[in-house]
Amino acid sequence: MRSSTKILLIYTGGTIGMQKDFETGALKAFNFSKLLQRVPELKLLDCAIETISFENPIDSSNISPESWVAIAEVIEQNYTAFDGFVVLHGSDTMSYSASALSFMLENLGKPVIFTGSQLPIGDLRTDAKENLITAIQIASLQENGKPVITEVGLYFEYKLYRGNRTTKISAEHFNAFTSPNYPFLIESGVHLKVNKDLLLPLDANKPFRVHKLFDAHVMILKMFPGINQKVLETLVNIPDLKGIVLETYGSGNAPTEEWFIELLQQAIISGIHIVNVTQCSGGSVNMGKYETSSELKKIGVISGKDCTTEAAITKLMHLLGQNIPTSDFKNSFENAIRGEMG
Ligand code: ASP
C-alpha cells in the first residue's frame, strides 16, 4: 500500500451511522462527521481519507434509482482525484445498490467498495469498525501502482464479494451477506488473502463511462403454488409495464397450465421482457431441462442464468434505460456485462 493512496468515503446512511431517537426508541441516521469521531483508528491507516455525505442520510429502505445516480455522480466527479471509493450504505438494500452501481460504472478502473454494519458504530459490540477499516484497506490495495480491485465489491464480516453476486441473508448475524454462485474475492484474516483469478479483468484502453438512466417500470414476481389467473392477468396488464423478473422454482421451472403460459406469451408479444431467475438460494436457471421450463424457453423468456434477483432487477432497469431494440434485448440480457452471471 502506498502512503499516498487517497480514498473517498461516501456516506449514504444505514445502521452504521445511526443512533437511537430518545423519543421513539427507533434507529435513525445521524450526522456523518460524528461517525468519523467514533473511529479514531482511521487516522492510523496508511492512506488519506476524505469524506462526503448525502445531505440527508437515509435508511437503505428508501434507496431509489435517484440515489444510485447520486452515488455514481460523486464517483464520477471525484474519479481522477481518488484511488478508491468506499460507500457506506444500509445493509437492507445494499446488494441492489452494489448491483446497480456495477452496471452503471463501465470500464471501472478503481475499487468501489460497499460496506455497512448490523450494529451502529457507537455500539460496544459493533461490527461497523472492522467492516469500515477493512473496506478502506481493500480500496487502498495497489500492485505496481495500480489498484488491485477494479470492480464494485461488497465487504462484510471478513469477506469481499463481487457486489452484483451478493444477497442479504440475515437480519441478525454479523455474517449478513452471501454470494451464492460466485466465490468471495478477498478474505480478511491475519492477512488479506486476494483470490486474483476471480477478479474482474480490466481493459485499460477503454474509457470509464457512467450510465445514469434506469427504467423502473418493472416488477419481481415470485412463483408460488396457487398463483391465481386473475391476479397474474391484472399484473401483466399493468399499463407501461416493461419488464418482469420471474422468480421460478428450482432450475427455472413454473406451472405448465395453459392460461399461465398464454398470459406470459401475450406479455412477451406486447413487448414486456420476462427474466427467469430461480428462487433457490443457489444454482442456475436451465430452461428446457424439465418439461416445466420448456414452454418458457419456447415463448422467449430470458434466462437470468445464475443471477441473483437483485442483479436481475437492476440489470433489467439498466438495460431498459439504454433503449436497446426489443429484438436484441434477450441477447443483451443473457450476456454478462459485469461478471454478474456465469
Ligand atoms: N435498516 C438499515 C438499512 O438498511 C439496516 C442496516 O443498515 O443494516 O439502512
- Residues 100, 101, 106, 112: is their CA dihedral positive or negative? negative
261 alpha carbon – ligand 1 mean position (Å): 38
Q: Does any ligand 1 atom lie closer than 6 A to the CB of residue 60? A: yes
Helix (H) or strand (E) holding 143: strand 142-143
Q: Does any ligand 1 atom lie closer than 6 A to the CB of residue 115? A: no
Q: Does any ligand 1 atom lie closer than 6 A to the CB of residue 111? A: no
The larger pLDDT score, comparing residue 24 to residue 305, is at 305
Task: Tell me which CATH code domain 5-210 carries.
Answer: 3.40.50.1170
Using one digit for the tens of pLDDT, what is the confidence trace for 126-164? 999 999 999 999 999 999 999 999 999 999 999 999 999
Q: What is the pLDDT of residue 34?
A: 65
Specify the ligand 1 atom closest to the Cα of 93.
Answer: 4
Q: Does any ligand 1 atom lie closer than 6 A to the CB of residue 120? A: no
Q: What is the mean pLDDT of residues 284-290?
A: 95
Phi first, then psi: give them for residue 148, nearest 5 degrees. -75, -40
For ligand 1, atom 8: residue with the closest CA: 91
Contacts of 305 (CB under 8 A, 6+ apart): 284, 285, 334, 341, 342
For ligand 1, atom 7: residue with the closest CA: 90
pLDDT band at 26 (very low <50, low <70, confident <90, very high): confident
For ligand 1, atom 3: residue with the closest CA: 90
27 alpha carbon – ligand 1 mean position (Å): 9
Tell me which architecture the domain covering 218-334 has in CATH: 3-Layer(aba) Sandwich (3.40)
Helix (H) or strand (E) holding 97: helix 94-104
Contact indicator for 76, 123 with CB cutoff of 8 Å: no
Contact indicator for 339, 162 with CB cutoff of 8 Å: yes
> Which of 16, 35, 61, 156, when mutated, tests ligand 1's pocket best, judged by the most ligand atoms within 8 Å of its CB?
61
Using one digit for the tens of pLDDT, what is the confidence trace for 214-268? 999 999 999 999 999 999 999 999 999 999 999 999 999 999 999 999 999 999 9
Q: What is the pLDDT of residue 3?
A: 57
Burial (Cβ within 10 Å: 0-12, 13-18, ≥19) of residue 39: middle
Across the chain, what does the average pLDDT equal?
Answer: 94
Contact indicator for 153, 113 with CB cutoff of 8 Å: yes
Specify the ligand 1 atom closest to the Cα of 29.
Answer: 9
Annotated catalytic residue, options 15, 115, 126, 314: 15
4 alpha carbon – ligand 1 mean position (Å): 32
Q: What is the mean pLDDT of residues 97-120?
A: 97
Specify the ligand 1 atom closest to the Cα of 58.
Answer: 9
pLDDT band at 2 (very low <50, low <70, confident <90, very high): very low
Q: Does any ligand 1 atom lie closer than 6 A to the CB of residue 310? A: no
pLDDT band at 166 (very low <50, low <70, confident <90, very high): very high
- Residues 53, 57, 61, 63: is their CA dihedral positive or negative? negative
Specify the ligand 1 atom closest to the Cα of 92.
Answer: 4
Q: Where are the domains of the chain?
A: 5-210, 218-334
Catalytic residue status for 51? no
DSSP states of 110-124 as a string? S-EEEE--SS-TTST
Single pTM value for the model: 0.96
94 alpha carbon – ligand 1 mean position (Å): 8
Side-chain-side CA neighbours of 188 within 13 Å: the count stands at: 18
